[in-house]
Amino acid sequence: MALIVQKYGGTSVGSVERIEAVADRVVRFRDEGHDVVVVVSAMSGETNRLIGLAKSIVDQPDPRELDALVATGEQVSMALLCMALHKRGHKARSYNGSQVRILTDDSHTKARIREIDDSRIRADLAQGSVVVVAGFQGVDENGNTTTLGRGGSDTTGVALAAALKAEECQIYTDVDGVYTTDPRVVERAKRLDRITFEEMLEMASQGSKVLQIRSVEFAGKYNVPLRVLSSFQEGPGTLISYEEDNQMEAPLISGIAFNRDEAKLTVRGVPDTPGVAYRILGPVSDANIEVDVIVQNVSADGTTDITFTVHRNDRKKAEAILQDVAKGMGAREVIGDDRIAKVSIVGVGMRSHAGIASTMFKALSEVNINIQMITTSEIKISVIIDEKFLELAVRTLHTAFGLDKTDDNA
Ligand code: ADP
Ligand code: ASP
Ligand code: MG
């Protein structure tokens, strides 16, 4: 008998029928003698619908009120799931974030969990109840409802599993595990039996939204065994765990991540003197805008161009800051470009193998894709390319690194 935390995403609770199917699965685990804590997302599309309602009134809704609004989605799911469990003769009680007391900081729409009070959950489990918790939400010190950022129910699941020292945190979604790349984009993507926390963190950070980044950070930090599974079919899913000692069989590249969320900004013709990078990037970071890839080129006339990427939502704000800075420095111009995409190859095997970058660049050059920027870490290489070549790039790299599904492993 173990304690298991199961998180069900939006599609998995997307209709009353799906919620009944979740109840059946929970009952199966109860019948096997396990204690089950369930974390639910809002029904699919609901969070977007609520944000749409807010934006139909005001372009930039007040963050506190936005959190109060979007947190309702998860509460619908939690109560419906409990009703479905009652119908099956099982005890079940639902709690929202503030009722559990998932204490967070006060950064509305992107709050971080500080502490979880597990006393109510433990008491209910001891009474033989299933406990159903609304994902994505918490409460700050002053009793305000907060939310954990899009996809945040994953983090609720992992944080509860850590607090309760659960045997496993199971993330049920609409794919049957973590794949070598998004299976909706590359048909030949393969399911991975396992992936390390470190690789999963890079995959998530570089755009694979199958798990929220913070949930992977949390799972790694507290060593929570994490498994991604389908709520639509049976199967082993993908286990996310620490690196094994025996890396002999580790694949060179575990996966390919991509995103279209960034925009590129270039300041042209900056006098090439010490401190220019700071004078340009300092005000951008002071405005709380995160900078990702940075490239600086010196040209023959002694000036320099600085190019960097930011989240697309921050492009306008960053461009306005740069216009001011550029004027002050006598730079030639500021150019913004949204039509870029970032493709990243990820794998712990990179540590012990040379030549991976050249394989990547060669494969892209063979299909005539121009690389605009490059950035690397110990287990990742990312390139910025024209957005219109994104799918071609991902498919090409998937084949080049031998990740395609074959009949043997189909
Ligand atoms: P949920 O609503 O259950 O939280 P999400 O939509 O957040 O589900 O995450 C599941 C989706 O993640 C899949 O439908 C898939 O398209 C996408 N995805 C992106 N990259 C990957 C990957 N490498 N492996 C599996 N799924 C991925
Ligand atoms: N419902 C929230 C969202 O759509 C949280 C989640 O599903 O994880 O982002
Ligand atoms: Mg999700």
> Confidence band (pLDDT; 50, 70, 90) for 245?
low
Which of residues 174, 200, 217 is at a domain's end?
174
> Whose CA is closest to atom 5 on ligand 2?
151
CA distances from 147 to 113, 153, 160, 266 (A): 10, 9, 15, 34
Please state the pTM of the whole predicted model.
0.93
**Which pLDDT tens digit goes with each residue over 13-48?**
999 999 999 999 999 999 999 999 999 999 999 999
| Ligand 1 contact via 84 beta carbon (within 6 Å) | no
Strands, sheet with 102-104, edge to edge from the N-terminal-most edge strand: 113-116, 102-104, 137-139, 145-147
Look at residue 406 and tell me whether its pLDDT is greater than 90.
no
Look at residue 409 and tell me whether its pLDDT is greater than 60.
no
Residues 302 and 155 in one domain: no
Ligand nearest to the CA of 49: 2
> Confidence band (pLDDT; 50, 70, 90) for 272?
confident
Does residue 303 contact residue 296 with C-beta atoms inside 8 Å? no
Residues 170 and 290 in one domain: no
Does residue 55 contact residue 47 with C-beta atoms inside 8 Å? no
| pLDDT confidence of residue 408 | 63
Which of residues 131, 153, 174 is at a domain's end?
174
| pLDDT confidence of residue 351 | 86
371 alpha carbon to ligand 2 midpoint, in Å?
34
Q: What percent of the chain has pLDDT over 90?
A: 90
Does residue 313 contact residue 288 with C-beta atoms inside 8 Å? no
Please report which helix (H) or strand (E) contains residue 255, including its range: strand 255-259
**Which pLDDT tens digit goes with each residue over 106-152?**
999 999 999 999 999 999 999 999 999 999 999 999 999 999 999 99
Amino acid symbol at 115: E
152 alpha carbon to ligand 2 midpoint, in Å?
6
**Which pLDDT tens digit goes with each residue over 151-170?**
999 999 999 999 999 999 99
**Which pLDDT tens digit goes with each residue over 348-357?**
988 888 889 9
CATH at 295: 3.30.2130.10
Residues 15 and 127 in one domain: yes
Residues 134 and 257 in one domain: no
Residue 179 alpha carbon, nearest atom of ligand 1: 24
Residues 253 and 146 in one domain: no
In this structure, is residue 231 part of a structural domain? Answer: no
Look at residue 327 and tell me whether its pLDDT is greater than 60.
yes
DSSP class of 140: -
CA distance 132 to 160: 11
Q: What percent of the chain has pLDDT over 70?
A: 97
**Which pLDDT tens digit goes with each residue over 205-226?**
999 999 999 999 999 999 999 9
* Token pair 């204490």 in the structure block, residue: 103
Parent domain of 263? 245-410
In this structure, is residue 235 part of a structural domain? Answer: no
CATH at 68: 3.40.1160.10
Which of residues 126, 153, 174 is at a domain's end?
174
> Whose CA is closest to atom 9 on ligand 1?
210
Q: How many helices (H) and strands (E) does the chain have?
A: 12, 20
| pLDDT confidence of residue 243 | 72
| Ligand 1 contact via 157 beta carbon (within 6 Å) | no
Dihedral over Cα of 113, 164, 157, 23: its sign: negative
Indicate the Cα dihedral angle 5, 9, 11, 15, nearest 10°: 60
Dihedral over Cα of 368, 372, 376, 382: its sign: negative
**Which pLDDT tens digit goes with each residue over 341-380?**
999 999 998 888 888 999 999 999 999 999 999 999 999 9
Q: How many domains does the chain have?
A: 2
Taking CA 128 as the corner, what is the angle to CA 127 and CA 131, rounded to the nearest 5 degrees? 95
